[in-house]
Homo-oligomer: A and B are copies of this chain.
Amino acid sequence: MASLLEGQARPIRLADIAKAAGVSHGTASNVFSRPEIVRAEVRERVKAVAEQMGYAGPDPKGRLLRAGKVNAIGVATTEPLSYFFDDPFARVMMAGISEACDATGAGIALVSAANQEKLAWNIQSALVDGFILFCIEGGSRLVDLTRERRLPFVALELGFQDETVSAIGVDNVAGARLAARHLAELGHRRFAVLSLAFADNRTGFATPDVVRGALYTGTRDRLAGYFEELARFGIDTTKIPVYETENEEKSTRAGLEAIFAKDEPPTAILAMSDRMALIAIDWLKARGLNVPGDVSIVGFDGVPDGALCTPALTTIAQPITEIGRRAARMILDHDGTVRRETMGVELIVRASTGPARKG
């Protein structure tokens, strides 16, 4: 008899408990979700029955459907899932998001995908109340996909002209100017820029055309900031090589090779990310060049790793954790409005920059 029931292996539902305890659905539900409104005697009886039947407690699946809210926010990127645990920038950002979620008891669902179809499916089927989008490469596609879900979402890095999407980013122009001025004031006159992409899947030296047609306005703004400030020091910015990388090892090294193959190698490098800056330091050291003796470098982002490497990296620090916190809160207490926030940045002078060599 018992074996017959066990053979079923059907999980026990709230309705089963109600029937067995001789109460209604409603009362059984109350025993678990609002026990205080149920008479003690009944409550105990139902609980006992539940215990004895091996009831696992109200299944969140059912509750969820009824409630409409999942109480979790999705964090999505086009990179593989491990990106969240590998990339220093992402990690600090996630710490901020975690903090806000911890505070309100919300969960975090990581969404990503190796390929395009899976990305679409994962976005479509993620059980979340909203999304935070890491817009790195292929960001525009990610935004389009997410928009179709008609859930609140925030894009990190407001690299989109599209004013209809909520976004949090930093003042790229101001940050870039800070970096450029710092180097110019140290006497540098020959520059090179390690740039992020201006559009999807680009790499190599960027022409003015490319810059003008930039899809990623974040990249464009940083370059504009560099150039504006350098121009104020009377530097001819049209001569400055700008190399687009994929913000990873290989293309960054290729960029450095190309830049230092030129006739007049730079004495200062403006890198649009700490990642590239760190790779550059490594590359220069391996080439026997001294940082900052021969070449100075300024990064962008302010990831913790920058403080630990040798020499420690001078950089433009974003308030990464705070951005994460705000992004999470934007989703958590979403009020239907589009928000676009721009955060300030800060120049942190460490050991990777120094006075330009005389001569």
Contact = CB atoms under 8 A, between A and B. Distances in A.
A72 interface: yes
A307 interface: no
Contacts of A99: 80-82
Interface in A124-181: 124-127, 148-151
Interface residues of A, number: 49
A5 interface: no
From A70, A102, A113, A148, residue with most partner B Cβ within 10 Å: A102
A320 to B, nearest CB: 12
A125 B60 contact: yes
Nearest to A91: B85
Contacts of A81: 98-99, 101-102, 108
A64 interface: yes
B85 A84 contact: yes
Nearest to A12: B150
Nearest to A98: B81
A321 to B, nearest CB: 10
A57 interface: yes
Given A11-B150, A72-B127, 6 more contacts: A56-B150, A57-B148, A61-B65, A63-B125, A64-B65, A127-B127
30 contacts: A56-B151, A57-B148, A57-B149, A60-B125, A61-B64, A61-B70, A64-B65, A71-B125, A80-B99, A81-B98, A81-B99, A81-B108, A82-B94, A82-B95, A84-B85, A84-B98, A85-B92, A85-B94, A85-B98, A86-B95, A98-B110, A102-B112, A102-B113, A105-B113, A105-B118, A105-B121, A105-B122, A107-B122, A109-B110, A127-B127
Pairs A-B, 10 closest by C-beta atoms: A81-B98, A56-B150, A82-B98, A85-B91, A82-B95, A85-B94, A108-B110, A60-B125, A65-B65, A81-B102
